[in-house]
Structure 1
Amino acid sequence: MASITQDMRFRLSLNTYAKRHCVSNAARKYKTNRQYVCRWKNRYDGSWDSLRDRSRRPHSHPNQHTPEEIKLIQDMCRRNPHAGLVVFWVKLMQRGYQRSIPGLYHFLNKQGMTAQKLPNPRYVSKPYEQMSYPGQRVQIDVRFVPACCLVNEAKGKRFYQYTAIDEYSRWRYVEAFEEHSTDSSAVFLRHFLERFPMPVECVQTDNGTEFTKRFSTSRKETLTLFQRVLQEYGIRHKLIRPFTPRHNGKVERSHRKDNERFYASHTFYSFEDFSKQLKTYNHKNYNQFPMRPLGWKSPQTILKEFIQYGVTYI
């Protein structure tokens, strides 16, 4: 319900006084003119709405759209219901329309003819593929060691943590490197395959140049040293979708936990010191740590039970 303003109450009082007395006395008492009193006396029909101010909007304008322009706009709206404002304006200009973009926008907005934007196509993710045994798929990724953790001799240098995690058992192998390249990736892969007690069928990585030349500027699509080692062992290489690190979610989650449990409270004086602390942390605080997805068993226990007894947690 619209509110009753102070002006409306004034006009009601004016009409009531003019009805009991004459218009001249009402104009004299309320300090206004006779025309004002007569206008509101004639307009008043007993309702509050009759005392409300009417719109002062003009009924026409010298620069308003002509009937020919309106018909052109209506025809274009019918043929291009989802075209944006600029595209729609350009199409009109090609057919003789000479108004500005703001003028067109105000007309479309007034007539309720603005384009209805179609919803963006929704990305439907694939259902998660649960692994059935260790080695079915292994995720590998690299992370930079935070510079704030490097002190003394190590200050100003760059260290890297290579991580491989088995998707079934969550068993993880990490190694420290001073170089971030396909050579380091190949060395890390060989060391991981030597220590992992089960054969590996598939290795999943992102599209970094340390793993693949998929997005390299080089015209030759040659294999990296990392991919050659995979071919040597007969392991399939799976690349995740670009710019979607969540597809490598297990290794990314482990890196986040490393920030909370390891890098937030440790400093490293040299590369040897970093390598030693990283191995100790991974063995005690990760592979021996119970996890909820594993039924509150550690990755080491899951891997051991599967190898010895064929026990699964699925």
Structure 2
Amino acid sequence: MKFIEPIGIPTEDDQTTGQTSDTRPITKAPKIRRRAKYYQFTAIDDCTRLRILRVYPRCDQKTAIQFLDYVLERVPFRVETIQTDNGAEFQFGFHWHALDKGLAHSYIKPASPHLNGKVERSHRIDAE
């Protein structure tokens, strides 16, 4: 999972006149826009290197379950095991959902991102 911070989209209230004069008074204060947070969920198959990505506005168990169901619908083969980090989104509810789907679910060791290297490298490549 990766946090993605999108570039802000200008609104009509923004000053886009292109004038650079220092003597012109500003009639409106620029509108401060709150930047939305988005979270990237990534699934990579160890054998085929097939990569499935989805971006969500939240990072919680419900979203992780939605992503798991999305992945299982899209892959052209049967998934037997999934491996996740120890994030809160992959705990109790997600774990039992995976077991209900007939999947084995294992966690990597805490503070060991190198054990999830394919996903970490994928995120680094996306960031570049």
Category of TM-score, reference length = shorter chain: 0.7 to 0.9
Matches of 1:167 and 1:150, distance apart in 2: 32
Aligned AA for 1:183? Answer: K
Give the counterpart of 1:211 among 90, 110, 115: 90
Q: Secondary structure at the match of 1:251?
A: helix
Structure 1 residues 198, 144: CA separation in 2 closer, same or farther (over 3 Å shift)?
same
TM (norm. structure 2) is 0.78
1:289-308 aligned within 5 A: none
Partner of 1:178: 57
Which structure carries more helix by proportion? 1
1:228 deviation in Å?
A: 2.4
Which structure carries more strand by proportion? 2
Give the counterpart of 1:233 among 101, 104, 107: 101
Matches of 2:95 and 2:7, distance apart in 1: 32
1:202 deviation in Å?
A: 0.5
Report whether the alignment pairs 1:194 with 2:73. Answer: yes
Bigger relative contact order, structure 1 or 2, given CA contacts below 8 A and separation 6+?
Answer: 2
1:94-109 aligned within 5 A: none
Which structure has the greater CA radius of gyration? 1
1:162 deviation in Å?
A: 0.6
**What are the superposed Cα offsets for residues 35-67 of structure 1, whole Å, 9 maximum, x if unpaired?**
xxxxxxxxxxxxxxxxxxxxxxxxxxxxxxxxx
Q: Secondary structure at the match of 1:241?
A: coil
The aligned length equals 106
Matches of 1:236 and 1:228, distance apart in 2: 10
Alignment identity in percent? 39
**What are the superposed Cα offsets for residues 272-298 of structure 1, whole Å, 9 maximum, x if unpaired?**
xxxxxxxxxxxxxxxxxxxxxxxxxxx
Q: Secondary structure at the match of 2:111?
A: coil
TM (norm. structure 1) is 0.33
Aligned AA for 1:259? Answer: A
Matches of 1:162 and 1:155, distance apart in 2: 23
Unaligned regions of 5+ residues in structure 2, if any? 11-32
Q: Secondary structure at the match of 2:43?
A: strand
1:31-70 aligned within 5 A: none
Q: Return structure 1 stretches of 4+ with deviation > 3 angstroms.
A: none
Report whether the alignment pairs 1:150 with 2:7. Answer: yes
Aligned AA for 1:211? Answer: F
